[in-house]
């Protein structure tokens, strides 16, 4: 009997899979049986080695998601070259830190292009292919605690992740009846490059840790299980959800 968590025979595109949360998601999906198309600007060698060591398959696709003009063509090219894509994980993201009064337009645009605009364009390209071929699909967006909270000194990041939560819901409203599940994960404070500045600040680090009921910062692998759930048959009736994986932060 096949498990509802089994992804064997399915193909997943994961953006930003070279490190951090994206790497954790890619590895977890591969462990569940999915073939991975890993998209990003940097080498995926470490992710590839981890997946292939366990008998999985990863294909690297080089792309700059900040160049939004090429996003749809990249997706279409990947579909045509490697076969239909069943799962799209929009994980790639960047962050810029400055007081709101000093925040530059360039930093605003750079973050919004990668974190929100490119996500919409990828979702749109995915849906067009799925509808044209009458295939079901799963979209998993990587949101943030700042989809619910304001944060400080990260104006464009907060705006992009709040927008991503809204985008997840509107796409679920439009596409649920057409066979595409659209959901999101909202990671808490995870040990990644994006949180390095916070972890290097002893005051902020301790303030954050004291509020987390689990008593620790999260690991990228902590997000992987939720990604598998949202990508597999077990979540067939889950649409438009933004699921916090935060060690209990929002419950505090």
Positions marked catalytic: 157
Residue 221 backbone dihedrals phi, psi, to 5 degrees? -65, -20
3-state secondary structure 25-62: HHHHHHHCCCEEEEEECCCCHHHHHHHHHCCCCEEEEE
3-state SS class at 209: helix
Distances (CA, A) of 143 to 107, 166, 185, 210, 229: 19, 10, 6, 23, 16
Q: Compute the CA torsion angle 35, 45, 18, 247 (nearest 10 deg).
A: 80
CA distance 181 to 231: 9
**CB-based contacts of 145, cutoff 8 Å, min separation 6:** 151, 186, 187, 188, 189, 244, 246, 249, 250
Residue burial 190-200, b: 16+ Cβ < 10 Å; e: rest: bbbebbeeeee
3-state SS class at 164: helix
């Amino acid at each position: 009997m096949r498990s509802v968590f089994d992804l064997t025979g399915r193909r997943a595109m994961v953006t930003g899979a070279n490190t951090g949360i994206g790497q954790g998601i890619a590895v977890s999906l591969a462990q569940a049986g999915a073939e991975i198309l890993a998209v990003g600007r940097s080498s995926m060698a470490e992710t590839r080695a981890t997946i292939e060591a366990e008998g999985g398959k990863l294909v690297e696709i080089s792309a700059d998601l900040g160049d939004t003009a090429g996003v749809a063509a990249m997706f279409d090219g990947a579909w045509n070259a490697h076969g239909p894509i069943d799962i799209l994980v929009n994980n790639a993201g960047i962050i810029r830190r400055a007081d709101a009064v000093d925040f530059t337009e360039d930093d605003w645009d750079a973050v919004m292009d990668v974190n929100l605009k490119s996500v919409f364009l990828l979702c749109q390209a995915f849906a067009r292919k799925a509808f044209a071929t009458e295939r079901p699909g799963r979209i998993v967006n990587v949101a943030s605690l700042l989809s619910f909270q304001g944060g400080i000194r990260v104006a464009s990041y907060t705006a992009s992740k709040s927008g991503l939560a809204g985008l997840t819901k509107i796409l679920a409203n439009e596409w649920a009846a057409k066979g595409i599940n659209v959901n999101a994960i909202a990671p808490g404070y995870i040990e990644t490059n994006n949180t390095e500045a916070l972890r290097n600040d002893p005051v902020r680090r301790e303030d954050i840790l004291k509020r987390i009921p689990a008593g620790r910062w999260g690991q990228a692998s902590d997000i992987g299980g939720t990604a598998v759930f949202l990508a597999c048959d077990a979540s067939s009736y889950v649409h438009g959800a933004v699921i916090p994986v935060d060690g209990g932060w929002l419950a505090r």
